[in-house]
Amino acid sequence: MNVSEKRFLDYPEIQYVKWGQVENMYAQIGIIAFVMVIAYTVAKWKKLSVETSMFAAALAGGIAGAFVKTPPIGQLARHMVEGAFTYLDVMLVFSTATIFMAVISEFGGVDYVVRGTIKTFYNKRILALLILMFIILIPGALTGAGSVSVLVVGAPTVMALRYLGIPEKKVAAILFIVAGLSAAAPPVNIWAMMLCAGTAIPYVGFELPLAVPVLLLGTFTMLFLGWKREEKKELADILNQMPEVPKKMSWWRIALPFFVFFGLVAAVRIWPFSLPIIGLPLQFMVATLAAFLVSPKKVNLLVISRDTIKRLLPLLTTIVVVGMLQQVMTATGVRGLISFAVISTPLVLLFISLAIIIPFSEGVLTYGAAAIIGIPLIWFLDSIGFHATVAIAGLTLLWPLGDGLPPTALIGRLSVMVSEHKGSYWSFLKNTWVPWIVITITGILMVVFSSKLEFLVRWSM
C-alpha cells in the first residue's frame, strides 16, 4: 500500500455522517444540541443556578458528542478546561475595575461626586442628563467594554440620576443602554475590531459610523427614560438626605485615582512605542493603589477585595462556563450549525431576524458571537455589494443589547447590581424596550443602507 492509498485510513470516521448527506449531519448535531437543551432544562428544574445549568449543558453536550468522537472522550476534560480560559482577560478586567470602584465608594468618593453634581446641575435637567451620558460613555469608549463603564462610573451616576427624580427601575435601564452604547462607541469597539481582524478589513473609518448613532441613540435614551421627573423635591431637602462625606474629602482625592487610570490609558495612546504594555487589569490596580493612598479615611484593601470578588463570583463563573460552552459547541458542530442556519437565511428574512439573532448570540456567546455569526455574515454582505465598514458599525449597535440577555447578561446583571434594582431581572429589562427597539431599527437600517451611508466612512478618514 503506498502513501496515497493509506491516506485518511487511520483517521477515525465520524460514525453517523456519510459524506454529502447534510441531513445526517443535521441529525447528529441536532441530537447533541437537544441533549444540551435537556440538560440545561433539567438543571434549572432542579433549581440549580444559571451557571451550574450551563455547565451541565456543556458537559452533557460533550458526552453526547463523544459517542461520535466529536470530541473523543479522552479530550473532553481538555476541551472543558481550555474553554474555561477563553475569557480570562475579561474576568481580570471585571475584578480589578470593581475593586477600584469599591475603594472609591468605601472612602465616600461616590457620595461626594453625587452631592456635587446634584448641587450644580439640579435645575439644569437636560444638561445634567447629557453630562451624565458622557460620563457613562467615556470609560466604555476608551476600553471597549461597557462593563467597565458600569463598574467605574455606574455607582455615582446611578445616585445622581435618582436624585434627579428618575425612578429606580428606569435608572437601571439608562445605565444598561448607555453603557452598552459606550462599548460600541469609538475609538475602541471590540466587536468591530474582532470582525476586522477576522475579515481582514482595516479598523479605520469607524469614527463617524459609530459616533453619530451612539450619540444620537444615547441622547434619545437619556431624554426618553430620564425626561420625566417622577418626584420633585427641594434641592436643600435632597442635600440633607444624602449620606455624609468624610470631613477631609475633596475633589482632588477623587479625581486623582481617575486621573491615574485614564492617564495610564491615554499615555499608552500618546506614547505607544515608549511605554510598556501593562494591560487594563494592572492599570486598574495602580489606580486602586492611588485611591488607597489618597483615601481620607482608613480602608482595608484586602477586605474590600475579598468582598468584591465574592459579589462578582456568579458573574465570573458565568464567563468561565460560557467559554466551556463555546468550546464544546464548536467541537461538536453545534456552533457551526447555528452559523450555517444564520447565513443560509434568505436576505430579507436575514435582515429582519438580525434583531433576534445578534442580541441572542451575544447573550449566549458574548464576544464569541462576533466571530461565529459576524465574520461569515460580513463576508457574505461584502460579496453582494454592502459596505462592510458601515455594516459592521450597524451590527455592533445590536450586540451590546445582547449583554442584557440571559444566560450571560453581563452588562445587564452588572447594571442591576450597581443600581441595586429591587425587582426581578425581567422587570428591569421591560423598562429598556423603547430604546432597545430604536437601537435595533437603527442598527438594521445601517446594515441595509450601508452603501448609501458610505460617506460617513469617507468623512472619518
Partner 1 sequence: MSREWMIKIVLIVLLAAGTTLAGIQLFRQRHFDVPMVAGPGVTRTAKLSDYSPGLKGTMADTTVFFLEGNEEGGKALIMANTHSNEPASLLAALIFLENAVVEKGTLIIIPQFNNSGGRNTRPGDGYPLYFEIPTDWGSKKFRLGNRDASPLDQWPDPDVYIHYPDKQLLSFIDVRNTNRTWPGRADGPLMEQVTFGAMEIMRQENVDIAFDIHGAETMFPVTNCIVAPEKSARMATMASLTVKAREGFDNHVEPSPSGFRGLSHREIGDYSDTLPFLLEAPIPFLDQPTGPKTEKFLLDGKDPFLLKLAKAKMLFVPYDESGWPMDKRVGQHCSVVLEIMRQYSRKKPERAIEVSHVPRYAQVVQNGTGSYYHDPSKADPDKVFLN
Asked if 180 interacts with partner 1 (CB under 8 A), we say: no
Of 100-139, binders to partner 1 (CB under 8 A) are: none
How near is the Cβ of 197 to partner 1 at its closest, in Å?
4
Nearer to partner 1, 86 or 431 (CB): 86
Give residues with Cβ within 8 angstroms of 290, minimum separation 6.
256, 257, 260
Smallest distance from partner 1 to CB 325, Å: 9
Stretch in the footprint of partner 1 (CB under 8 A) among 63-71, 161-169, 240-248, 309-317: 63-71
Task: Report long-range pairs for 429-438 (Cβ below 8 Å, ≥24 apart).
Answer: 429/404, 431/169, 431/170, 431/172, 431/173, 431/225, 432/173, 432/176, 432/177, 432/404, 434/224, 434/225, 435/173, 435/177, 435/217, 435/220, 435/221, 435/224, 435/225, 436/177, 436/401, 438/217, 438/220
Structural contact between residues 392 and 192, judged by C-beta atoms closer than 8 angstroms: yes
Q: Is the CB of 188 or the CB of 447 nearer to partner 1? A: 188
Q: How far apart are CA 144 and CA 155, in angstroms?
A: 19
Residue count at the site for partner 1 (CB under 8 A)? Answer: 89
Asked if residues 349 and 176 have their Cβ atoms less than 8 Å apart, the reply is: no
Going by C-alpha positions, the residue among 87, 206, 190 that lies closest to residue 146 is 190
Q: Decide: 59 and 80 in contact? Cβ < 8 Å.
A: yes
Nearest-angstrom CA–CA distance, 290 and 294: 6
Q: Which of residues 275-314 bind partner 1 (CB under 8 A)?
A: 277-282
Query: Residues with Cβ < 8 Å from 108, sequence gap 6 or more?
Result: 243, 245, 246, 249, 296, 297
Measured from the CB of residue 273, what is the shortest distance to partner 1 in angstroms?
Answer: 6
Q: Which of residues 3-62 bind partner 1 (CB under 8 A)?
A: 3-4, 6-14, 17, 19-22, 24-25, 29
DSSP state letters, 17-80: --TT-HHHHHHHHHHHHHHHHHHHHHHHHTT--HHHHHHHHHHHHHHHHHTTTSS-GGGHHHHH
Distance of CA 422 to the CA centre of its chain: 22
Q: How far is the CB of 308 from partner 1 (least distance, A)?
A: 20
List binders of partner 1 among 324-383 (CB under 8 A): 326-333, 335-337, 339-340, 342-344, 368, 371-373, 375-376, 379-380, 382-383
Residue 445 C-beta: closest distance to partner 1, Å: 24
Residue 374 C-alpha cell reads as 459576524
Q: 117 or 332: whose CB is closer to partner 1?
A: 332
Closest to partner 1 by CB, 66 or 245: 66
Binding of partner 1 by 197 (CB under 8 A): yes
In the region spanning residues 399 to 458, those forming contacts with partner 1, defined by CB under 8 A, are none
Question: What x/- string results for residues 204 through 243 when contact with partner 1 is judged by CB under 8 A?
Answer: x---------------------------------------
Task: State in angstroms the smallest separation of the CB of 245 from partner 1.
Answer: 32
Contact criterion met (CB below 8 Å) for 80 and 60: no
Q: Which is nearer to partner 1, 224 or 262 (CB)?
A: 262
Q: Which is nearer to partner 1, 90 or 175 (CB)?
A: 90
Q: Is the dihedral of CA 155, 90, 308, 80 positive or negative?
A: positive
Applying CB under 8 A, the span of 173-181, 215-223, 272-280, 410-418 interacting with partner 1 comes to 272-280
Nearer to partner 1, 134 or 340 (CB): 340
Least CB distance to partner 1 at residue 210 (A): 12
In whole angstroms, how close is the CB of 204 to partner 1 at the nearest point?
A: 6
- Residue with smaller CB distance to partner 1, 81 or 255: 81
Cα four-point dihedral sign 443, 448, 453, 457: positive
Nearest distance from residue 323's CB to partner 1, in Å?
Answer: 6
Q: Which is nearer to partner 1, 93 or 171 (CB)?
A: 93
In 131-230, the DSSP E strands lie at none
- Smallest distance from partner 1 to CB 344, Å: 7
